[in-house]
Amino acid sequence: LDRRIAYSTVHAAREAGVDWILHFTGLGNPAHLSEQLRSRYEVGEILALGGARVTQLRASLVLGSGGASFEMIQAFCGYLRIMFAPRWMDARCQPIAIANVVEYLAGCLEHPETAGQVYEIGGPDVLTWRELFRIYADEAELPQRLVLVLPMRIHRISIWWMNLVTPVSVALIRPLVERIGGNTGWYFGTCLWRLRGFVDELLGGPGLSRGRRHVDSVAVGDHLDFWRVVAVEEPCRLLLRAEMLAPGVALLEFRVQVLPDGSTELRMTPSFEPRGFAGRIYWWIIAPSHSLLFRSMLKQMVKAAGVRVLSGPSCVADG
C-alpha cells in the first residue's frame, strides 16, 4: 500500500509541476530496520524517481498533544497501575517534541539549499519506552506504574489494549449561543447545574456564583459561571474550559457553520480528558446523563431563537 501511494504521489507531483517534496519519515539503524521502517525508506526512494528534489526528515518518536505515541503513553499512565507490556517496552528511541519537528519543517522551507538532503532529527536523549512512561508520570504528578514486560510476542493483545484504554470521551451535538451562563442560565436542567455548582462550592471551587462579565458578549479570559472562555472566533466558534473541581480537564466547544444548501448547523462538543483512574470512573458516571442534558439544551436554545429545526439534534460518539 505504501508503495502504491508513493507512486501515485510521484505521478501527481509530476502532473502538477512540483519540484520539491518534503518527506517526513522514520529514523532507525539501516542495518536493523523493521518492516515498517524499510517500507518508509523505500517510499523516500520512490519519491525521488519523479524528478522532484526530495528532502527527507527522519525522526524517531514524536511527542506532542494529538500524536498517537503521546496519547498512548498518556492513556497507559492515566488508567493503568500495573501494565503487562510487550517486549518493545525496552526498545530505545530518540524522542523529539512535535514543536521541534514543525521548526525543522519550516526551516527547510526557508532554506532551499536543504532540497535533496537527508536529515536525521532524533532528539538528543536516547530513552526506552519504559523510561518515557516514568518521565510522563513524574511530569503529570501521577504515581509510578509497575511495568511487567512479558517475554512472548503479544502484538495483537497490545493493540487491543491500546484501543481499550485510549481516551475517546467526545460527543458531537448541536449548537452555539453566546448568552449562555449568568442570568441566562444553561437553557435546560437548571436545577442540575445549580446542584453541580453547589457541590463545587462545597469542595472549594468557584461554583456558579461568578456569573458572567457581560450579558451579550464574551472575550478570551471571561468567566461564565464555572467555565472560562479560552477561545473566541467570531462568529463561528466559542471554546470554554471548566474550572470546577474535577479529576480531569473538561472542555465545551460551540460551532456554527453554514452548509452548502444554505441551512445552518449548530454543533456543541463536550469533551473530558480524565486524570488517572478516578477521572475515568468520574466520566463513566456522568457521561450517560450528558446525552439527555445536551440534547435538551439544544432544543431549548433553538426554541429561544425562534427558528425552525430541519433535523436533529443528533448525537454522535467519537470512538
230 is a domain residue: yes
**Whether the predicted model's global pTM rises above the 0.85 cut:** no
The pLDDT value given to residue 22: 93
**Per-residue pLDDT tens digits for 9-18:** 999 999 999 9
Q: Residue 258 carries which side chain, given as an amino acid letter?
A: V
Angle (deg, nearest 10), helices 68-79 and 155-165: 80
Which ranges constitute the DSSP H helices of the chain?
2-16, 35-47, 68-79, 98-110, 129-139, 155-165, 190-202, 276-305
The predicted model gives 283-310 an average pLDDT of: 70
204 is a domain residue: yes
87 is a domain residue: no
187 is a domain residue: yes
List the one residue out of 88, 92, 78, 91 whose CA is nearest residue 154. Answer: 88
Selected residue with higher pLDDT from 167 and 89 = 89
List the one residue out of 279, 20, 309 whose CA is nearest residue 167. Answer: 279
The pLDDT value given to residue 19: 92
32 is a domain residue: no
Confidence of residue 186 (pLDDT cuts 50, 70, 90): low
Laid out side by side, the sheet with 53-59 consists of: 20-26, 53-59, 118-120
Q: What percent of the chain has pLDDT over 70?
A: 66
Handedness of CA 35, 39, 42, 44 (dihedral sign): negative
50 is a domain residue: no
**Per-residue pLDDT tens digits for 203-219:** 677 666 666 666 566 77
List the one residue out of 134, 122, 130 whose CA is nearest residue 94. Answer: 122
* Contact status, residue 119 vs residue 104, Cβ threshold 8 Å: yes
Q: Could you give the CA distance from residue 56 to residue 117 in angstroms, rounded to a whole number?
A: 6
The predicted model gives 294-318 an average pLDDT of: 66
Contacts of 99 (CB under 8 A, 6+ apart): 64
CA geometry: angle 258, 263, 265, nearest 5 deg: 60
- CATH number, domain of 241, equals 3.30.530
* Domains in the chain, number: 1
Our measurement of the distance from residue 163's CA atom to the centroid of its chain's CA atoms, rounded to an integer in Å, reads 15
The pLDDT value given to residue 177: 37
* Contact status, residue 156 vs residue 92, Cβ threshold 8 Å: no
* Contact status, residue 212 vs residue 225, Cβ threshold 8 Å: yes
**What does the mean pLDDT of the chain come to?**
74
Identify the three-state secondary structure at position 117. Answer: coil
Name the region of 181 (left: φ>0; alpha: ψ -120 to 50; beta: rest). left
The predicted model gives 277-294 an average pLDDT of: 74
Q: Mapped to the 3 state alphabet, what secondary structure does 8-28 carry?
A: HHHHHHHHHCCCEEEEEEECC
Domain that holds residue 298: 170-318
47 is a domain residue: no
For the chain, the distance separating the N- and C-terminal CA atoms, rounded to the nearest angstrom, is: 25
281 is a domain residue: yes
The pLDDT value given to residue 150: 62
**Per-residue pLDDT tens digits for 237-282:** 888 888 877 788 888 888 777 667 666 777 778 888 877 777 778 7
